[in-house]
Amino acid sequence: SKLSSVFSLSLSLYPVIELNHHVISVVPESGLLIILGFILGGIVWGADKAQTFKLLPPTFFYYLLPQIILDASYFMPNKLFFSNLGSILIYAIFGTCWNAATVGLSLWGCYEAGVMGNLDIGLLQFLLFGSLIAAVDPVAVIAVFEEVHVNEVLFILVFGESLLNDGVTVVLYNVFDAFVALGGPRIDAEEIFKGIFSFVVVAFGGSFLGVVFAVLLSLLTRCTKHIQIIEAGFVFVVGYLAYLTADMLSLSAILSVTFCGICCQKYVNANMDEKSVTTVRHAMKVLANGSETMIFVFLGITAIDTEIWVWNTGFILLTLLFVFIYRIIGVFLLTWMLNKFRLVPIEVIDQVVMSYGGLRGAVAYGLAAMLDKDKIPEKNLIISTTLIVVYFTVILQGITMKPLVQWLKVKRAAHADLKLIEKLNNRAFDHILSAVEDICGRIGDNWWTRGWNRFEENYISWLLMKPKARKNRDYLFSIFHKLNLEDAVNYVSEGERQGSLAFIRSDEVANVDFKKQFGSEFTDVMPDIMVDMSNYELGIENFSVTSIVKDTIPSVSLDIHGKDRKNVADDINAHHLLQQHLYRSRKNHRHKFSRSHFSINQSEDEVQEIFQRTMRSRLESFKSAKMGVNPAKKITKHHKKDLTHKMANGHPDGTDHLYGDEEVEGLSMFLSCLIEAGIENPVFLPAMDSPTHSSLPWLMETDAVAPSQRAQWRLLWTPNRLRRLAPMRVSTCSTDSFLMADLEEHEEKPQTDHEEEM
Amino acid sequence: MGSTNSTLLKIPNVEVLMQETGFSPAHIIRLHDRFKALDKEGRGHLCPHDFGAIKELAMNPIGDRIIGAFFSPGKETVDFHTFVKILAHFRPVDKDRPKEPNSPEPINSRSNKLKFAFQLYDQDKDGKISRDELLQVLRAMLGMQVTDEQLESIADRTIQEADLDRDDTISFEEFRKSLEKINIDHKMSIRFLR
């Protein structure tokens, strides 16, 4: 009940802090929470004259930490993580060992030199202290880096390191703990060897266990079609189970949960019903945020306790100094070595941020609090020092991190007043560079990654993903599906009105969450579509432009009001426009992980917008090319996998290209599969510019003009078309006329469970 | 090392290629692997849709233009040589290269890098960026929120700044001149192609 009262108290004060955004942008939330903890602790101490609220290690390790790690791993950008895994491991393993060794040894050296006065402490205990203070803390890192937007590689390096170094920390801690228990003289090579061996077991064992649980979880969600309501719970239960099991077996629990989350996300997201996915995400964020809040508040409260404070100036100051310095040295050394092997070297600025971002947090405190007072008489000193280090890093380094980053960036950018053409070209060069990097296969499109992708696609997904989810993995498929959903929905609603379609639309049709369903590689690109059916009040008679041009693609913001703005050709204005609206390239920081947001952020909107435009222009140029080609090919059904190759791509400005037969067939197959699965004609794309009444394009039987959306509507409802469509199989399809002609010779395709798919 | 040599031998005219582009054997092999990976049907040359299959390019606003830059006018295929030569534009500049008076400019010189970028704008290859071409690029690179009038005003301003001979187009020389403050070597180089 004490726990719950602190919990409620701190959570209720949380929004107060949130309200003051100005404060938040200067002091990171975590810092404020610690200060809040100080206040609360003061209140409690004032009342009880003793600190009755303490952060007990079991509470922390079993009730507060697991969900934070699960949250971090569940939302981990996998591609980024695995492509930098080598570097992350180097930092996590060698970096942490380096930190532990150097800090421990230096402190011992200083002790021997007499700087710290009289303490009942020995080399082994110094090393033990070193090992617990060495680890960079994931909770603190997330909390601080959330405010500071750094580039994604840098973020993943620090973040990944903070997650993976638990393996090392746990081992070192346990090894030195055991050594301390044994006593100095009994340590020999055998013991040291056992220590190293235990590292291997703990780290790999923990990771492996995590993977096992990820498999278990994926299989579970694969089979939960009929109990969708409790699907979401499995994620948390199995995640927690992974943590506990690993802990029970004395393996690294954090690693276990980390790998469980990382490995399962793809399959779980694919298998679960979209409502469950949303539930899981929201719940996960709630739990993680709540736990983080509590942790920091408790860290503050714990300070207000006269019992634990032992002040030894030398020890504390030296610890702070060494922790800081050795982190910097360690990072620079390791990066220097890594840059020899990395494809994209890590820059000096990033290294500075990385060293500065080596924050210690609650994990260190938890480990310190778990020390045995009998074996380690100076436990209180250690706890005090740990707390001070935590406060220093979280509050001070947290506050100064953002200004530091900005100062560094500003220093680098040397922003003279650039002319428009320079600004434009700067951005163009960024895009060009990104594109060429992608063409070159910057990640190393080597045998290993390709082999793994093939293996994963064929075997692992077969095992762990629902067959339906597997079928829907084709990303291109899904983009067009999404682009045309509104058309489908419009068509359906109109059809119902007209009574020309003999089926009943279910509500499910509109609420497909593409992000979940198709986002195997493009989780950030797939938008959430929630089409509000009530928006469609269309009768054949009263077509109004706005009802169609209405912003039904949530992510593409067609600013209708913008057209009314009469802008004077102002120099400042043009610069401002460029500043605001130039699409950002990969270099310009697309922050991918956030504690409090998982929904689409602005840069993801941009990405979607770009993607849609590219796809549209490709399709349109394909279409214009196809006009001249006789579509007499028989459309046969092909396995989806082949389709990824046979995607048509348009030459940028619609210059003539002669599409070989194979490509026409490829696209026909592609289009037919879209239709077959109940997807609409991709030709039905919303027009980019506002449709015009005047030319009545629908009356022209030739599709010389890419029909505007309105026109395409009309196309359907001329009496001829209606009749043609009626005998077609019952579906939500709107079909293109010339493809229709082909399909008539083709036998009735089985109506796949497209209703369920939608 | 034996396998490296044998792979190198399989590539026709690889010596000439290395000479022209300045790539090391290791890079050539790496690019060859990449070429083969892109050429999924093993035809020995690439088509636009092979590039189109690179998903990240679809998320690049000028991705399709860049794909187009690989294909010489009239050709629909890219062989390995052309592939490598185009990519050679992005090698970092060799600062210590001795300046031989009669040798042709290396592909990755500052001027050639700029020419590559210029080509992306100048789609009709008349040596000048017309107002329309600039509008197209601007449209591609700016979000949907920008209206057509705003776009046109930006284009007009841009041409005004760069156009020195007042012919309402940007020639290559004007282009080069307007970008002299920018560190092209840095902005148009991929480090791992050194």
Mean pLDDT of chain B: 81
From the list A116, A114, A6, A134, the residue with the least C-alpha distance to A60 is: A6
Specify whether the CB–CB gap between A654 and A623 falls below 8 A: no
Q: Which of B71, B157, B159, B181 to mutate to test the interface with A (most CBs of A within 10 A)?
A: B157
Indicate the SS3 state at residue A36: helix
Mean pLDDT of chain A: 69
Nearest to A343 among B33, B67, B192 (CB): B192
Name the packing angle between helices B80-88 and A420-440 (round to 10°): 140
- What is the rounded distance in angstroms from the CA atom of residue B34 to the CA atom of residue A442? 10
Specify whether the CB–CB gap between A739 and A631 falls below 8 A: yes
For A725-753, the pLDDT digits (tens) are 333 333 333 333 333 334 333 433 343 33
Helices and strands, number each (H, E), in chain A: 35, 0
Q: Where are the alpha helices (DSSP H) in A638-751?
A: 640-643, 661-676, 709-717, 719-725, 737-743
- What is the rounded distance in angstroms from the CA atom of residue B28 to the CA atom of residue B36? 12
Q: Taking residues A700-704, report their average pLDDT.
A: 36
Does B182 contact A at CB distance below 8 Å? yes
- What is the rounded distance in angstroms from the CA atom of residue B16 to the CA atom of residue A47? 85
**Sign of torsion, CA B31 B37 B40 B41?**
positive
pLDDT value for B38 = 85
pLDDT value for A694 = 32
For A234-259, the pLDDT digits (tens) are 999 999 999 999 999 988 899 999 99
- What is the rounded distance in angstroms from the CA atom of residue A411 to the CA atom of residue A497? 63
Q: For residue A650, which residues of chain B lie inside 8 Å, CB to CB?
A: 48, 64
- What is the rounded distance in angstroms from the CA atom of residue B122 to the CA atom of residue B116? 10
Better-predicted residue by pLDDT, A570 or A485: A570
Specify whether the CB–CB gap between A361 and A137 falls below 8 A: yes
For B89-118, the pLDDT digits (tens) are 888 777 666 666 666 777 778 888 888 888
- What is the rounded distance in angstroms from the CA atom of residue A272 to the CA atom of residue A214? 14
Does A348 contact B at CB distance below 8 Å? no
CB contact under 8 A, A567 and B157: no
Confidence of residue A184 (pLDDT cuts 50, 70, 90): low
Q: Taking residues A186-207, report their average pLDDT.
A: 83
Specify whether the CB–CB gap between A413 and A405 falls below 8 A: no
Identity of the residue numbered A710: R
- What is the rounded distance in angstroms from the CA atom of residue A514 to the CA atom of residue B104? 53
**Reported pTM:** 0.64
For A505-540, the pLDDT digits (tens) are 444 333 333 333 333 434 333 333 333 322 333 333
The pLDDT profile of chain B, 194 residues, written as one tens digit per residue, is 445 667 777 778 888 888 888 888 888 888 888 888 888 888 888 888 788 777 778 788 888 888 888 888 778 888 888 888 888 888 877 766 666 666 677 777 888 888 888 888 888 888 888 888 888 888 888 878 788 888 888 888 888 888 888 888 888 888 888 888 887 777 787 766 66
Longest dimension (CA), chain A: 99
For A590-612, the pLDDT digits (tens) are 555 666 665 544 566 677 777 77
Structure tokens at A686: 């919303």
- Asked casually if ipTM beats, i.e. exceeds, 0.90, the reply is yes
- What is the rounded distance in angstroms from the CA atom of residue A88 to the CA atom of residue A674? 41
Residues of chain B numbered 7-46 and touching chain A (CB < 8 Å): 31, 33-34, 37-38, 40-41
Residues of chain B numbered 79-98 and touching chain A (CB < 8 Å): 87, 90
For B41-61, the pLDDT digits (tens) are 888 888 887 887 777 787 888
- Per residue, the 3-state secondary structure of A437-480, as one string, reads HHHHCCCCCCHHHHHHHHHHHHHHHHHHCCHHHHHCCCHHHHHH
Distances (CA, A) of B163 to A456, A566, A639, B172: 54, 26, 54, 10
Q: For residue B158, which residues of chain A lie inside 8 Å, CB to CB?
A: 420-421, 424, 574
- What is the rounded distance in angstroms from the CA atom of residue A264 to the CA atom of residue A275? 18
Specify whether the CB–CB gap between B84 and B177 falls below 8 A: no
Identity of the residue numbered A70: L
Mean pLDDT comparison of A123-137, A620-634, A654-668, highest-scoring range: A123-137
Specify whether the CB–CB gap between A697 and A707 falls below 8 A: yes
